[in-house]
Structure 1
């Protein structure tokens, strides 16, 4: 559940607010002389009453447009978006709020609409667009030092990491958000419970199941007492957590109870119904009730297709359906769900750039395509448009096959590069050695005794790991060697066949590769932490140097090292 500011319950309401309606709106006589503060207070104290909120917000908007009060105008557009039923108008109102906010000198007015925009995209599983909004919000929040919005942005980015399967990276962000909410002087109950809910969910996906149970139970108690909106999601969370604890019947009870209390028409809860049908199916699989499991997975697909919510977490449900129809010899249905799975995967890849290992481990793509061709052949005798279907299928299969062949070759190349780095004492780039070329020495305009002295000094400094210092320069090194920067640059160019910067970066990358192979604790560092550990100031500079020298990213190298242990 993404965290946003103040008016989270408004998404539950249905109301269409178009430009025509705004123009036609007439301020009631009882509100004509009300101040903005009075109208806003009436609005926030009646946020459950859709009709009243409509009147208050449209009054604020009409009044602010007439008086050119951009501050209240920006807020009114943003808050009205919560009541908008048409999705295109909902986004239009948010964008209008952003447009008006740009006319203000106070950048903090941009925070709320960017938060709403990110939440809008998050609910639609358009994670790339959501991330763009949250990163923009974080940039502005840091600029204006808004701790609340910094927390909201980091929390929601943590949720996005959860959605693409980066659970280990998501957990620290969500834990940090929860601690922030817990330690606030004036606790915001809604934000506190939403942070607790996200943290509990992350604990489940990181298989820290007992901690998840603690927070789920605490959340149920607090929600029931002071914030009903998170009551059902906490019960639902614990239902999934109990499934992973192998407490099947208790898991079923919790999931069923939570879903029975939710509204499937509520767009914020639709994804919970999708996930709920998935775990209902998994539970029936555990109980060996294959027909019942198939029924739940078919309901899952109905929700996915109707709402266009492609959640990677539920992918196994499609594989079960395909295998079931295979056993039942229902080739038409099997073909239908193979196509749905291929479409499901393509959506996940294109929208979220997310590829799961299970794609190859549990449902091999080449096998899937071969099965598809066999089924098409079986149906040829009963199909009137056989040629059209065949050519469409072959074209689609070739495109899909090319995509996966490209990914396969890429992974194969990365694996070769990784295995090369595992060999003992293998330097990442061409060996750093003295060329000792007399002809080259005389060509660079540096006396031979100085060349020998500098090379000897460099060798000693390399053993002392001087290159791990930050902000190292050719001037500082030449001073340590008792020479000048011009001579040092020439000697390194001639004797080591590289620039000074590349020489330093090569030493750093060689060092970190060997340390990562031996030091498990170092592998737990973030990329920024690793960069600073070996002398880089920025994670981007370190990653670029590592990729240039080794052909792979440092994150990939660490992941493969951990997997090999």
Structure 2
């Protein structure tokens, strides 16, 4: 009887072990599916699979499954820009990562913590975590994995240096981008521990990022230096041998669009921006969609396709408003709580390779967006200096402007010299006629007693613009001076200001204003208002 009982007990124990092993294999399969779904299919669907695997791991005490599912959750939260949850989830997984003594996991953990702290404006802990990540990476045994993780750290560190507005930080950004490129090139294509797709995914991204540095940050802009890096990135992008993550293809497509925009190749800009929008349907990234809309609006305007430019400017304005509202809603993140917790010793969690790549490129986008805002402010200051330095004699009335010209009915073709016409144009520019909606080439030619062909050629030769661009520029100059000189107009709606200076719609006005000044009308008005408030405060003191 005892023998039978012992046999049954052993049978049950063996069956339990087999069942546990089977459950672990099922969880591993779930996690593999989750990683693929997260990277190539849909974020929300990937989240559901991750949570399912996480619960299953808890039920059977599968530590590796808990660690990996927790890591994937961190990637998901990073994509959602939820830095608080990134840090919380990482810290929850920290003891487990330490227990398993996984240096790959610790390297990724420190790096992710550095990124999250940096985005919350906590520079010191961010830098400390980067140093911890570099230290942990040196303990990784596998050579190719070590090169890969070190490349990711160097690529991420540029977000730290970008917060320092000096020459040293600019040199550091390029230095670490090139170090990242050097590390990734040392990975063997046949490496058993690093996938070929992962290597070339980050290789394409890093080349693209260096190219963007020469276009957006290097002074002066060096499109020639950027071209080599973009061509290397495009070669990988177009090679069917490599399967790049869909979301990274979106980022690359937008970067390529920016490159061709800098080259004034607007057809290729439209090609890559449109491709980015198609790919973004799966990635669902508002920031990337916003950048694509902006490129399309600007490029179609340069190609004189006002209808499509207006369409994409409307889409850009709409999504920009949505993003701004979302950012304002998340400002109250508990940063103080994170600062107090930072006083304790922490380590971070392993993050899957695909998530690491996404984090680098997503933050690169935000890095260059921040740089762009800085350029906007420089454009604003330049415009204000121009307004201060220019003498404004005032606008002439129509009678004053054309009285002498129209009274002379005996104008002959011989008397229509270039100098005479330029003098008439100068008077026209100082008049309020520039804001009349009926102004056209024919209208102006009639008022100046000349013909349309001669007038068009003189404007093109001596003003350096087509007739439409010439008139649009005068109208923008008019409204800029009006906003600067008369504060009451700053309270009016953009649509009213557009109509006031002769534009047919708010969208066209906004697009032309940005093209002429480098900033949007709302940005210009907001800064004028802020300056008034600051001046008022100083006067009271």
TM-score (ref. length: structure 1): 0.46
TM-score (ref. length: structure 2): 0.48
